[in-house]
Every structure is written in structure tokens, then in C-alpha cells.
Amino acid sequence: MRFSNNPLITPKDIQPTTDGYEVFSVLNPAACTFNDEVLLLLRVIERPVQTKGFLSIGVLDVGSGGYKRLDFSLDDPLLNYDDPRVIKYDGVTYLTGMSHLRLARSRDGVNFKIDPKPTIMPSTYEERYSIEDARITKLGAAYYVYYVAVADFGFSTILLKTTDFVRFERIGNIFPGVNKDVAIFPEKINGMYAALHRPDTGFFANPSMWMAYSPDLVHWGQYSLLMQPRAGKWDSSRIGAGTVPLKTDKGWLEIYHGADEDHRYSLGVLLLDADDPSKILYRDSKPLIEPAMDYETNGFFKDVVFTNGMVVSPEDPGKMFLYYGSADERVCGAALMLDELIGRCNCPGRAAKPRVVMSRL
């Protein structure tokens, strides 16, 4: 299942964007195929090179478009850095690293060449802290790239459009407020665009997966709860969309992520009805992939496998290549047979070789 040459991409493979900065994590890539290549849109996290006695971070200086460095003394009683992903100082929360998005390209889906420069950089106030965890949905001739934007007022989802992965049209903020883990379906359903997403549930419930619909990809509504975490299982604490849903002749196939109370992130299979994806046909009781290898159990944030993208293998239409972040530090891959994924869903009368009911991306 896992690629033998995992991890595929590590921080040492990527040059930082700014002098005096270092890349310490690359993770959670979006994935698609374009011009006979597999493209990964990597999340690359960088920070200032650390100085003894200080914790240094960067934030976007919106006016200049560059990074503004902030230095905090480790002896300062106002500083809290118990979680490696964030720091809190005098009541304000910051991320420990600034993320941008960068393309990696491959002919075989296994060996990747990374672009020397960033593809998408944070540029607006709503992206002041970071841009993260992109996904890519192909609709017609266009590719829609959407990602999480993080600022001091929370996180939201930004949508871009491209036909060449060189020029990107910014459509705007499509899920404002505290909302993330958006995955847009690759075709209209009953005349409407559809998306999975995860709004903030406040004090009342653990983070859950919802459905939303739109006539134009900009104005979203008809919100409904799809599913919630399950007590005592691998996805007991939080859940969210992973891959862009894939249409098969048995329904929409989704690989989603879940975490338990120990913040251990795993991946599972979800099958949704083709005509009404708010209907769940199957949900994994056990993980498809869970942290097991050293590169998944040890790293920047231990015990994490987290996916944002899956593509049809360039050489075998019955095989899927799943790409995932491991331990919030590296990019890895796994090969999954489509018939085995569908067979896992216990579909009555299933074909021996389920087919993908969509053109290859």
C-alpha cells in the first residue's frame, strides 16, 4: 500500500523563500493530473532561523508583501509554546511557521521535481498568518484551487481558478468565519455545485463534516450536517474531508481524516450516494491508514497521517495514488486499488472491477 520510497518529499528538498528563513515542514499536498503529469500543490512551512534564547516567527506584512519577524524571549512569562504548532503571547495566538503553496511535478506519480519558487504566496490580511492545506477540483477545462487562510481573527477558505497553473484568478473567500476542510465535488449534482466542509461547532460538539451547495461556487448554502465523530473509535475527537470526492459506479468515494482524543490522525473510507451525497452508504469502522511507520509516528507533530489529494495512477486506471502528510513534516504516498476500496464498502452486487465514472483529471 505505502510507497516503498516514502517519504517522497522532506523539508531538506525545498529552499526557503526568504533569506534568514528555514523550511521545517512540507505536508498535506493537493493533487491532480495536468498535461500528462501528476501535480502536487505542497504546503511548505518556514520560519526564521532560530536564535538561542528566543522563539522567532514570521507573519505577513501586508503592505510590503514580505514577512515581518517577531522575536519572543523564552524567559518571558507571557509566552506559552506548549503546542509546537502555535504560540500564545499576552493573549494573542500565532502560528509557529508561515506556509505557502508550491508545485511538485511527476511523470510517474512517485518521483517528484519541486518548482524552485513558490506557486502561491499569502498576500492579504486574511492570509496574514498562513495559507494552508490546498485541494484542487477540476470542473470543465478549469482547475479550482482552494485553501485555508489563517489570520488573527480565525481561518476561512479562499478559492482560485486556473487553466495553466501559472496564472491564478482569485475568486474570493467562499467559506468565511471559522470554516475549513472544504472539498468541492468535481461535477454538479442535481444542477448545483456541492462541497464537504467543516464549520466551527463551538462548545456544543466536536468538529464534524457538513454538506453545502452553490449555484456558482461563490454563494454557498443549503447547509446540512453529514456526520460527527464517534465515541470510542479512531475518529472520536474530530473529523474532516480529505480527498476531493471521486465518482464511481457505486457512489462518491471519499477518503476522510479523523483524530482521537490523543490527537492521533488516521484516514478512513466514506461512500456517499451518487445522487444525494448527504446519504452515507458506508463509513469505515477501522482506519484505512493509521500512523505506523517511523515517518508517521515521529516528526513535527507525531502520529499523523492527513490527506488532501488522490489521483488515478498514470499507468493503471484501476489504481489510485493517495498523497498524505506524515507527522506534519513530510509528504508520503500510497497505492490503493479501486476495486478493493469499493469492496471495503460492502456494496451489494458490486462489479468485480468498479469503474471511475468521470474522465481522468
Q: How far is CA 109 from each of CA 32, 164, 318, rounded to the nearest angstrom?
A: 10, 19, 14
Query: Cβ atoms within 10 A of the Cβ of 242, count?
Result: 27
Please indicate, yes or no, if residue 360 is contained in any of the structural domains.
Answer: no
What is residue 256's predicted lDDT score, i.e. its pLDDT? 98
Backbone angles phi, psi at 158, to 5 degrees: -105, 140
**Cβ neighbours for 115, distance < 8 A, ≥ 6 positions apart:** 102, 103, 104, 105
What DSSP state is assigned to residue 49?
A: P
What is residue 351's predicted lDDT score, i.e. its pLDDT? 35
Please indicate, yes or no, if residue 6 is contained in any of the structural domains.
Answer: no
pTM over 0.85: yes
pLDDT tens-place string over residues 25-76? 999 999 999 999 999 999 999 999 999 999 999 999 998 889 999 999 999 9
Which residues are bridge partners to 334 per DSSP?
Answer: 2, 322
What is residue 315's predicted lDDT score, i.e. its pLDDT? 87
What is residue 360's predicted lDDT score, i.e. its pLDDT? 31
pLDDT tens-place string over residues 179-215? 999 999 999 999 999 999 999 888 889 999 999 999 9
Please indicate, yes or no, if residue 223 is contained in any of the structural domains.
Answer: yes
Quick check: 348 pLDDT over 60? no
Q: Judge contact between 152 and 128, C-beta under 8 A.
A: yes
Please indicate, yes or no, if residue 136 is contained in any of the structural domains.
Answer: yes
State the Cα–Cα distance between residues 180 and 317, nearest whole angstrom. 30
Please indicate, yes or no, if residue 278 is contained in any of the structural domains.
Answer: yes
State the Cα–Cα distance between residues 314 and 308, nearest whole angstrom. 19
Nearest alpha-carbon partner for 106 in 97, 98, 114: 114
pLDDT tens-place string over residues 245-265? 999 999 999 999 999 999 999
Please indicate, yes or no, if residue 355 is contained in any of the structural domains.
Answer: no
Number of domains in the chain: 1
**Is there a cis peptide before residue 7, judged by omega within 30 degrees of 0?**
yes
Nearest alpha-carbon partner for 172 in 123, 243, 223: 123
Range of the domain at 317: 11-344
Cell of 329: 513534516
Higher-scoring residue by pLDDT: 212, 349: 212
What is residue 307's predicted lDDT score, i.e. its pLDDT? 98
What is residue 347's predicted lDDT score, i.e. its pLDDT? 58
Q: Judge contact between 309 and 323, C-beta under 8 A.
A: yes
Q: How far is CA 84 from each of CA 55, 155, 291, rounded to the nearest angstrom?
A: 11, 19, 19
State the Cα–Cα distance between residues 251 and 351, nearest whole angstrom. 13
Please indicate, yes or no, if residue 138 is contained in any of the structural domains.
Answer: yes
Indicate the pLDDT class of residue 358, thresholds 50, 70 and 90.
Answer: very low
pLDDT tens-place string over residues 77-129? 999 999 999 999 999 999 999 999 999 999 999 999 999 999 999 999 999 99
Please indicate, yes or no, if residue 349 is contained in any of the structural domains.
Answer: no
**Cβ neighbours for 295, distance < 8 A, ≥ 6 positions apart:** 6, 7, 326, 327, 330, 332
**Backbone angle region of 158, left / alpha / beta, with phi > 0 → left and psi within -120 to 50 → alpha:** beta
DSSP 221-273: EEEEEEE---TTSTTSSEEE--SPPEEETTEEEEEEEEE-TT--EEEEEEEE-
Nearest alpha-carbon partner for 257 in 215, 288, 302: 288
**Mean pLDDT across the chain, nearest whole number?**
94
pLDDT tens-place string over residues 296-326? 999 999 999 999 999 999 889 899 999 999 9
Count of alpha carbons within 13 Å of 13, Cβ hemisphere only?
Answer: 20
Q: How far is CA 94 from each of CA 42, 98, 127, rounded to the nearest angstrom?
A: 21, 10, 12
State the Cα–Cα distance between residues 329 and 332, nearest whole angstrom. 10
Q: 187: domain CATH number?
A: 2.115.10.20
